[in-house]
């Protein structure tokens, strides 16, 4: 149904007495679903609240949506949901601007013009799904099922399982995720032997030392940490932040210590030096549960240097001070404070991990936790249990699927690079461009915007142009989707079913249930349902692997396990302190629901399930490394580099360990390679300033840029709205003749960007910082053409080991723009 704007205003006037006529586009014709119009027109103005989960970032906050006659008007935090306990971030609050966004896709779109020309044709769902399924059936018949690849963003839990299931049944092993959290687990895998991100007991810690972990702004769940953090002064918790720029987290810390970008590993080892030298470490833990601390002899009676020898020999305070730029007194003082505080926690984050030496830095940071014996104790590090979900029925694979699933992964580095990962965006792009090991025929994009977030835009664009058929699942057209041939418009999170379980690093297992708050506004579909539809259309064993009518049914079947297990509880008002203690005494069993239906209804009403009680684990159980202990000396890294050497020698017998290490850009030699150590970042010598970026709460990884309120609030801390800025220390500013507010060029060897200067003391001299998230060339009217994308001037560098983009690996110069 179409109605004229005037009618619409009349409708709205009816409900909100003094409605003022807005300024723009007076004769616009609005496409509003008839149901909604009638509701507004005849509505008795009844207020209802519904619970769901916000999915604008990885945080997984429970939200309550206020509906007036079924139309969402306001979002607040769900006070009973354990992750955020009623708290919200600005991005989540403005989620309704996602729902009502004028740039939302309303029908499946087929591209008819060149990429970026904005020429799209609306087609029906039947046509669109037919286009995709036909191509997929053809590929399968030609035995090329493996040439389908999926590039996802930050799907977790059931959605991830769902996509993997679809691909396995179809016959492709190529599912990759590109997000800012990508490959985060690798350093943990090296030292702990498994890829689970650890949780930290903030509540009982006495001191927290954070290496570049800006967890109040860009961690896994900023609001969860804000809740924990805001009470730290009452609990006498001392909080110290180490990073070159004063982020929101550093601004709130009790102490901010400045070090140069890319030197986190050296600083951590400098602290380890003090702990070891002054015998402030947990001797018992280190002796019993760690591997490679002292010098050791292997089975072939070859002597190896231990962590202790390397640290004592190389990381004395003066040297660390020279590398990091922090005074040696600070290092000594901090090392002593760390060693003498019971329950001191150490955590590393984006600043430390997003550099060429990120994996080694994170290993060094984790080794501090091992020295302090922080595992599985009060105020320490622990690992939470998976929620007791039931298993989905087995995947049915026919011979084509089996054959395809055995094929080599397409994103595995072909050259000597990234020994520990089978996905790096860099190798993914390279392999597509060279058709190795085989070409990609269909690429699915899942809601992300990898092109905007990647470093080598040019190559990426070339790769995207090369792929014959790109299908994107998204609600908006963004930079990456411009290159898609077909966009299948998905619901926004307020219109679809999903689940959100176990957000990494949160201290208890939990599941949030995301349910539709409002009927779909447009002709969109849920991503989970589209995948099931596609499977049904492809038919055969692919369809058999999905014995579900829709995605909601899949979620329900998973939850049956939770109901049957009797563990945990639905997050209701009653779940507060006293009640928890009561349950802990009597064993954590609920069984208050007479049937699954009752459990399910309760779940929908309250928004989630959680289980704060965790089985105590023995220290010998938590490390899954070859030695069964925390590994200072990573045998996993050793074996994967050995494998890489073996593989290289097969191709070229002149190669050896030495040449492989130099191809990996690793400067260390001998045992040091496999121990936590400092690798210098290959900066370009002639550039004077370190360049770093940061994410802000209002935008996160660029996805908040199409919300006008978030654009307006982008720089609320520095009073720059809708635009980027560059933060410069007054000392550096004077040196370069820059004043607050002047426009400057920030220039690297790659490119340059023009931004306004913000001269503030909250950044180290010789370091400049630009916020990430603006500078869109697409992504709707509110995002396009505002600010700059700092990634566009970054060198195409990656973590040597994990293949994570090195966002702090560039040096720049700065000059006044006249």
Query: Under rule CB under 8 A, which residues in 675-734 are in contact with other proteins?
Result: 697-698, 708-713, 716-718, 720-723, 729-731
Instruction: Tell me how far CA of residue 60 lies from CA of 42, 91, 700, in angstroms.
Output: 35, 12, 14
437: left (phi over 0), alpha (psi -120 to 50) or beta: alpha
Could you give the angle at which helices 551-565 and 157-170 cross, rounded to 10 degrees? Answer: 120
According to the binding rule CB under 8 A, does residue 17 interact with other proteins? yes
Of the candidate spans 90-98, 114-122, 206-214, 526-534, the one that interacts with other proteins by CB under 8 A turns out to be 90-98
CA dist., res. 193 & res. 186, Å (int): 9
**Residue 3 binds to other proteins (criterion: CB under 8 A):** no
CB of 478 to other proteins, least distance (A): 18
> Burial of 571 by CB count in 10 Å (0-12 exposed, 13-18 middle, 19+ buried)?
buried
Whole-number Å distance between alpha carbons of 458 and 440:
19
Among 10, 233, 564, 576, binds other proteins (CB under 8 A): 233
Q: Which two tokens stand for residue 454?
A: 């990647």
Cβ closest to other proteins, residue 98 vs residue 370: 98
Stretch that binds other proteins, among 22-30, 300-308, 400-408, 640-648 (CB under 8 A): 22-30
Considering the rule CB under 8 A, would residue 494 count as an interface residue with other proteins? no
Q: Candidates 252-260, 524-532, 573-581, 681-689: pick the segment binding other proteins (CB under 8 A).
A: 252-260
Q: How far is the CB of 730 from other proteins (least distance, A)?
A: 8
Q: Does 767 bind other proteins (CB under 8 A)?
A: no
- Which of 51, 55, 153, 258 touches other proteins (CB under 8 A)? 258
**CA-based nearest residue to 155, from 515, 645, 493:** 493
Asked if 638 is part of the footprint of other proteins (rule: CB under 8 A), the reply reads: no
Q: Which is nearer to other proteins, 54 or 660 (CB)?
A: 54
Residues 34, 112, 251, 816: which binds other proteins (CB under 8 A)?
A: 251
Give the whole-angstrom CA distance, residue 277 versus residue 316. Answer: 10
| Closest approach of other proteins to the CB of residue 103, in Å | 8
Please state, in angstroms and rounded to a whole number, the distance separating the CA atoms of residues 362 and 185.
10
**Closest separation between CB of residue 194 and other proteins, Å?**
31
Tell me the closest approach of the beta carbon of residue 802 to other proteins, in angstroms. 30
Report in angstroms how near the CB of residue 81 gets to other proteins at its nearest: 12
Binding-site size, other proteins (CB under 8 A) = 81
Residue for token pair 């998973």: 558
Judged by beta carbon, residue 74 or residue 579, the one nearer other proteins is: 74
Cα 162 from Cα 155, distance rounded (Å): 10
Which listed residue (12, 49, 579, 743) binds other proteins by CB under 8 A? Answer: 12
Strand order in the sheet with 486-489: 120-122, 109-111, 486-489, 469-474, 442-446, 148-152, 175-177
Q: List the x/- string, 101-140, binding to other proteins by CB under 8 A.
A: xx--------------------------------------
- Cα–Cα distance, 384 to 710 (Å, whole number): 34
388 binds other proteins (CB under 8 A): no
Taking the complex as a whole, the smallest distance from the CB of residue 19 to other proteins amounts, in Å, to: 6
Instruction: Name 93's Cβ contacts closer than 8 Å, sequence gap at least 6.
Output: 75, 76
Rule CB under 8 A: which of 606-635 touch other proteins?
A: none
Q: C-alpha angle 156/162/163, rounded to 5°?
A: 85
DSSP H or E segment with residue 810: strand 810-816
Q: Which stretch binds other proteins (CB under 8 A): 99-107, 293-301, 599-607, 626-634?
A: 99-107
76 binds other proteins (CB under 8 A): yes
- H-run or E-run covering 761: none
Least Å distance, CB 765 to other proteins, is: 7
CA distances in angstroms from 734 to 327, 365, 757, listed in the order given: 23, 35, 12
What tokens does 606 get? 């309250």
CA distances from 682 to 351, 497, 666, 679 (A): 17, 46, 10, 9
Instruction: Give the nearer residue to other proteins in terms of CB position, either 91 or 186.
Output: 91
Judged by CB, which is closer to other proteins: 312, or 718?
Answer: 718
Give whichever of 43 and 682 is closer to other proteins, judged by the CB atom: 43
Of 661 and 757, the one with the shorter C-beta distance to other proteins is 757
**28 sits near other proteins (criterion: CB under 8 A):** yes
- For 716, the 3-state DSSP assignment is coil
- CA–CA distance, 473 with 483 (Å, rounded to integer): 13
| Of 20-28, 316-324, 593-601, 806-814: span binding other proteins (CB under 8 A) | 20-28
Instruction: Provide the strand spans (E) within 202-270.
Output: 207-211, 238-242, 255-257
Q: Should residue 9 be labelled a site residue for other proteins when binding is judged by CB under 8 A?
A: yes
- According to the binding rule CB under 8 A, does residue 25 interact with other proteins? yes
394 binds other proteins (CB under 8 A): no
User: What is the number of H-type helices and E-type strands within the chain?
Assistant: 30, 32
| Shortest distance, position 244 Cβ to other proteins, whole Å | 11
Residue 45 or residue 564: which is nearer to other proteins going by CB?
Answer: 45
Measured from the CB atom, is 33 or 682 closer to other proteins? 33
Candidates 133-141, 227-235, 412-420, 527-535 — which segment interacts with other proteins by CB under 8 A? 227-235
Q: Where are the beta strands (DSSP E) in 463-548?
A: 469-474, 486-489, 498-501, 509-514
First to last CA, the chain: 53
- Told to check if 15 binds other proteins by CB under 8 A, we report yes
Least distance to other proteins from the beta carbon of 781, Å? 6
Q: Is residue 87 a contact point for other proteins (CB under 8 A)?
A: yes
- For the segment 38-57, give every residue that binds other proteins (CB under 8 A): 45
Q: Rule CB under 8 A: choose which of 190, 248, 417, 464 binds other proteins.
A: 248
Q: Is 54 exposed, middle or buried (0-12, 13-18, 19+ CB in 10 A)?
A: buried
Q: Is 196 exposed, middle or buried (0-12, 13-18, 19+ CB in 10 A)?
A: middle
Taking CA atoms, 745 is separated from 672, 687, 762, 803, in Å, by 40, 14, 21, 29
Tokens of 142: 């030609």
Residue numbers 770-799 binding other proteins by CB under 8 A: 781, 786
Task: Give 91 or 345: the residue with its C-beta nearer to other proteins.
Answer: 91
**CA triple 394-195-88, angle to 5 deg:** 95
The span of 214-222, 284-292, 542-550, 682-690 binding other proteins (CB under 8 A) equals 214-222
Nearer to other proteins, 5 or 466 (CB): 5
- Our CB check for other proteins shows the closer of 169 and 571 to be 571
State which of residues 231, 235, 617, 754 lies at the interface with other proteins (CB under 8 A).
231
With beta carbons less than 8 A apart as the criterion, state whether 702 and 691 touch. no
Establish if 407 lies at the interface with other proteins (CB under 8 A).
Answer: no
φ, ψ for residue 679 (rounded to 5)? -105, 135
**Residues of span 727-766 touching other proteins by CB under 8 A:** 729-731, 760-762, 765
Instruction: Decide whether 136 or 246 has the Cβ nearer to other proteins.
Output: 246
């Amino acid at each position: 149904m179409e109605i004229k704007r005037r009618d619409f205003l009349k409708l709205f006037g009816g409900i909100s007495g003094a409605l003022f006529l807005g300024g723009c586009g007076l004769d616009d014709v609005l496409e509003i679903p008839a149901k909604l119009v009638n509701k507004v027109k005849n509505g008795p103005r009844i207020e209802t609240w519904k619970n769901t989960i916000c999915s604008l970032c990885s945080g997984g906050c429970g939200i309550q949506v206020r509906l007036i006659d079924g139309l969402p008007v306001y979002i607040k935090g769900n006070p009973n949901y354990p992750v955020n306990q009623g708290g919200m971030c600005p991005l989540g609050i403005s989620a309704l601007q996602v729902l009502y966004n004028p740039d939302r896709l309303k029908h499946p779109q087929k591209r008819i013009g060149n990429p970026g020309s904005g020429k799209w044709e609306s087609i029906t769902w039947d046509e669109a799904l037919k286009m995709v399924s036909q191509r997929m059936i053809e590929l399968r018949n030609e035995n090329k099922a493996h040439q389908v690849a999926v590039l996802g963003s930050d799907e977790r839990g059931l959605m991830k399982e769902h996509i993997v299931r679809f691909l396995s049944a179809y016959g492709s092993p190529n599912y990759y995720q590109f997000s800012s959290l990508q490959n985060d687990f690798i350093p943990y895998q090296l030292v702990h032997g498994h890829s689970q991100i650890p949780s930290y007991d903030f509540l009982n810690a006495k001191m927290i030392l954070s290496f570049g972990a800006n967890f109040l702004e860009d961690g896994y769940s900023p609001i969860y940490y804000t809740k924990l953090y805001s009470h730290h002064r009452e609990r006498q918790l001392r909080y110290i932040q180490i990073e070159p720029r004063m982020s929101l987290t550093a601004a709130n810390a009790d102490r901010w210590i400045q070090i140069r970008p890319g030197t986190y590993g050296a600083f951590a080892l400098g602290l380890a030096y003090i702990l070891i030298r002054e015998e402030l470490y947990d001797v018992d833990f280190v002796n019993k549960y760690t591997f490679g601390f002292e010098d050791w002899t292997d089975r072939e009676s070859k002597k190896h240097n231990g962590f202790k020898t390397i640290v004592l020999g190389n990381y004395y305070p003066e040297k660390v001070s020279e590398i990091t730029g922090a005074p040696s007194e600070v290092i000594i003082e901090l090392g002593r404070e760390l060693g003498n505080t019971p329950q001191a926690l150490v955590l590393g984050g984006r600043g430390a991990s997003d550099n060429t030496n990120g994996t080694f830095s994170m290993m060094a940071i984790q080794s501090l936790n091992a020295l302090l014996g922080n595992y599985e104790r009060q105020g320490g590090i622990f690992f939470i249990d998976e929620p007791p979900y039931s298993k989905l029925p087995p995947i049915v694979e026919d011979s084509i699927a089996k054959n395809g699933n055995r094929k080599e992964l397409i994103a595995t580095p072909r050259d000597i690079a990234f020994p520990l990962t089978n996905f790096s965006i860099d190798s993914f792009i390279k392999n597509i461009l060279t058709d190795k090991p085989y070409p990609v025929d269909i690429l699915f994009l899942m809601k992300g915007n990898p092109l905007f977030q990647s470093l080598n835009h040019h190559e990426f664009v070339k790769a995207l142009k090369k792929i014959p058929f790109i299908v994107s699942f998204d609600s908006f057209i963004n930079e990456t989707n411009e290159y898609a041939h077909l966009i299948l418009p998905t619901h926004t999170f307020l219109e679809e079913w999903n689940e959100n379980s176990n957000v990494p690093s949160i201290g208890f297992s939990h599941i949030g249930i995301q349910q539709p708050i409002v009927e779909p506004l447009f002709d969109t579909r849920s991503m989970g349902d589209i995948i099931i539809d596609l499977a049904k259309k492809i038919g055969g064993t692919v369809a058999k692997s999905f014995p579900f009518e829709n995605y909601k049914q899949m979620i329900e079947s998973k939850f049956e396990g939770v109901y049957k297990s009797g563990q945990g509880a639905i997050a209701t008002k009653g779940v507060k302190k006293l009640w928890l203690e009561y349950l802990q005494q009597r064993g954590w069993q609920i069984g208050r629901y007479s049937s699954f239906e009752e459990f399910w209804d309760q779940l929908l009403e309250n928004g989630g399930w959680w289980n704060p009680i965790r089985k105590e684990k023995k220290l010998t159980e938590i490390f899954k490394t070859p030695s069964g202990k925390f590994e200072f000396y990573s045998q996993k890294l050793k074996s994967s580099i050995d494998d890489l050497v073996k593989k290289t020698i097969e191709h070229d017998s002149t190669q050896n360990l030495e040449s492989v290490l130099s191809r990996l850009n690793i400067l260390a030699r001998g045992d040091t390679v496999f121990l936590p150590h400092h690798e210098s970042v290959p900066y370009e010598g002639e550039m004077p300033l370190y360049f770093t970026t940061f994410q802000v709460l209002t935008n996160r990884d660029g996805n908040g840029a199409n919300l006008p309120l978030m654009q307006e609030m982008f720089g609320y801390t520095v009073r720059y709205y809708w635009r980027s800025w560059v933060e410069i220390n007054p000392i550096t500013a004077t040196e370069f003749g820059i004043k607050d507010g002047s426009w400057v060029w920030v220039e690297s060897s790659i490119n340059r960007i023009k931004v306004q200067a913000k001269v503030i003391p909250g950044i180290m001299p010789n370091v400049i910082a630009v916020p990430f998230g603006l500078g869109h060339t697409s992504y709707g009217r509110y995002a396009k053409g505002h600010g700059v994308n700092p990634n566009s001037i970054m060198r195409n560098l990656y973590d040597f080991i994990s293949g994570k983009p090195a966002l702090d690996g560039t040096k720049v110069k700065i000059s006044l723009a006249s």
